[in-house]
Amino acid sequence: MPTTGLFSLRDNLMPRITFILHDGTRHTVDAELGATVMETALKNDIGGIVAECGGSCTCATCLVHVDETWSAIVGKPHAEEDQMLDAAFEVKPTSRLACQIKVTEALDGLIVHTPAYQGR
Protein backbone atom coordinates (compact mmCIF):
# COMPACT_ATOMS: atom_id res chain seq x y z
CA MET A 1 0.00 0.00 0.00
CA PRO A 2 1.38 3.42 -0.90
CA THR A 3 2.32 5.82 1.80
CA THR A 4 0.57 9.16 1.93
CA GLY A 5 2.69 10.61 4.70
CA LEU A 6 4.36 13.14 2.41
CA PHE A 7 1.24 15.28 2.36
CA SER A 8 1.25 15.63 6.14
CA LEU A 9 4.94 16.57 6.06
CA ARG A 10 4.26 19.26 3.49
CA ASP A 11 1.56 21.11 5.43
CA ASN A 12 -0.49 23.56 3.37
CA LEU A 13 0.77 22.05 0.14
CA MET A 14 -1.32 20.34 -2.48
CA PRO A 15 -1.33 16.61 -3.14
CA ARG A 16 1.10 15.51 -5.82
CA ILE A 17 0.29 13.28 -8.77
CA THR A 18 2.85 11.58 -11.00
CA PHE A 19 1.85 11.05 -14.62
CA ILE A 20 3.96 8.50 -16.47
CA LEU A 21 3.61 8.87 -20.21
CA HIS A 22 3.65 5.89 -22.56
CA ASP A 23 7.32 6.59 -23.38
CA GLY A 24 8.30 6.47 -19.69
CA THR A 25 8.57 10.25 -19.20
CA ARG A 26 7.48 11.19 -15.67
CA HIS A 27 5.78 14.43 -14.67
CA THR A 28 5.06 15.05 -10.97
CA VAL A 29 2.71 17.97 -10.40
CA ASP A 30 0.73 19.61 -7.63
CA ALA A 31 -3.02 19.00 -7.72
CA GLU A 32 -5.76 21.14 -6.22
CA LEU A 33 -8.03 19.42 -3.73
CA GLY A 34 -11.43 18.81 -5.32
CA ALA A 35 -10.12 19.04 -8.88
CA THR A 36 -10.05 15.94 -11.05
CA VAL A 37 -6.97 14.13 -12.26
CA MET A 38 -7.99 15.21 -15.79
CA GLU A 39 -8.16 18.89 -14.79
CA THR A 40 -4.78 18.54 -13.12
CA ALA A 41 -3.29 17.02 -16.29
CA LEU A 42 -4.68 19.76 -18.53
CA LYS A 43 -3.60 22.55 -16.17
CA ASN A 44 -0.06 21.17 -16.22
CA ASP A 45 0.12 20.44 -19.98
CA ILE A 46 0.46 16.69 -19.51
CA GLY A 47 0.60 14.99 -22.90
CA GLY A 48 -1.59 11.99 -23.50
CA ILE A 49 -4.76 13.44 -21.92
CA VAL A 50 -7.06 14.69 -24.70
CA ALA A 51 -10.29 15.27 -22.73
CA GLU A 52 -12.49 15.97 -25.75
CA CYS A 53 -15.69 16.20 -23.69
CA GLY A 54 -14.17 18.46 -21.04
CA GLY A 55 -14.82 16.06 -18.20
CA SER A 56 -18.43 15.02 -18.69
CA CYS A 57 -17.64 11.28 -18.93
CA THR A 58 -18.79 11.00 -22.54
CA CYS A 59 -15.65 10.43 -24.61
CA ALA A 60 -13.05 8.23 -22.84
CA THR A 61 -10.16 10.39 -24.10
CA CYS A 62 -8.79 11.00 -20.61
CA LEU A 63 -8.13 7.32 -19.92
CA VAL A 64 -5.36 6.57 -17.45
CA HIS A 65 -4.05 3.35 -15.96
CA VAL A 66 -3.90 3.78 -12.20
CA ASP A 67 -0.70 2.31 -10.81
CA GLU A 68 -1.53 -1.03 -9.19
CA THR A 69 -0.34 0.18 -5.78
CA TRP A 70 -3.03 2.89 -5.91
CA SER A 71 -5.89 0.96 -7.50
CA ALA A 72 -7.69 0.06 -4.26
CA ILE A 73 -7.42 3.63 -2.94
CA VAL A 74 -8.73 5.21 -6.16
CA GLY A 75 -11.48 2.61 -6.39
CA LYS A 76 -13.46 1.09 -9.21
CA PRO A 77 -15.30 3.00 -11.95
CA HIS A 78 -19.02 3.67 -11.55
CA ALA A 79 -21.49 2.22 -14.10
CA GLU A 80 -21.47 5.21 -16.50
CA GLU A 81 -17.68 5.36 -16.49
CA ASP A 82 -17.48 1.59 -16.99
CA GLN A 83 -19.63 1.93 -20.13
CA MET A 84 -17.25 4.53 -21.53
CA LEU A 85 -14.27 2.31 -20.76
CA ASP A 86 -15.89 -0.42 -22.86
CA ALA A 87 -15.39 1.82 -25.92
CA ALA A 88 -11.83 2.93 -25.09
CA PHE A 89 -8.48 1.66 -26.36
CA GLU A 90 -5.79 -0.02 -24.23
CA VAL A 91 -8.14 -0.72 -21.31
CA LYS A 92 -6.60 -2.61 -18.40
CA PRO A 93 -8.04 -3.78 -15.07
CA THR A 94 -6.78 -0.57 -13.40
CA SER A 95 -8.03 1.79 -16.12
CA ARG A 96 -10.08 4.81 -15.12
CA LEU A 97 -11.23 8.00 -16.74
CA ALA A 98 -9.18 10.82 -15.24
CA CYS A 99 -12.25 13.09 -15.28
CA GLN A 100 -13.90 10.81 -12.74
CA ILE A 101 -11.08 10.73 -10.18
CA LYS A 102 -11.40 13.56 -7.64
CA VAL A 103 -8.21 14.71 -5.94
CA THR A 104 -8.24 14.24 -2.17
CA GLU A 105 -5.55 14.21 0.50
CA ALA A 106 -5.62 10.41 0.30
CA LEU A 107 -4.37 10.62 -3.29
CA ASP A 108 -1.14 12.46 -2.43
CA GLY A 109 1.55 10.54 -4.30
CA LEU A 110 -0.88 9.01 -6.83
CA ILE A 111 0.76 7.50 -9.90
CA VAL A 112 -1.11 7.14 -13.19
CA HIS A 113 0.09 5.97 -16.58
CA THR A 114 -1.17 7.42 -19.86
CA PRO A 115 -1.73 5.18 -22.89
CA ALA A 116 0.00 5.68 -26.23
CA TYR A 117 -3.33 6.57 -27.87
CA GLN A 118 -6.54 8.22 -26.64
CA GLY A 119 -9.64 7.59 -28.67
CA ARG A 120 -12.73 5.52 -29.14
Q: Which domain holds residue 49?
A: 5-113
Contact 76, 119 (CB under 8 A): no
48-69 per-position pLDDT tens digit: 899 999 999 999 999 999 999 9
Q: How far apart are CA 37 and CA 120, in angstroms?
A: 20
Predicted local distance difference test score (pLDDT) of residue 117: 82
68 burial level (CB within 10 Å; 0-12, 13-18, 19+): exposed
How many domains is the chain built from?
1
118 in any annotated domain: no
The bridge status of strand 16-20 relative to strand 26-30 is: antiparallel
11 in any annotated domain: yes
Does residue 15 come out as left (phi exceeding 0), alpha (psi in the -120 to 50 range) or beta?
beta
Q: Residue 1 pLDDT > 50, yes or no?
A: no
59 in any annotated domain: yes
90 in any annotated domain: yes
Predicted local distance difference test score (pLDDT) of residue 12: 59
27 burial level (CB within 10 Å; 0-12, 13-18, 19+): middle
Task: Identify the CATH number of the domain in which residue 58 sits.
Answer: 3.10.20.30
43 in any annotated domain: yes
Q: What global pTM score does this model have? A: 0.88
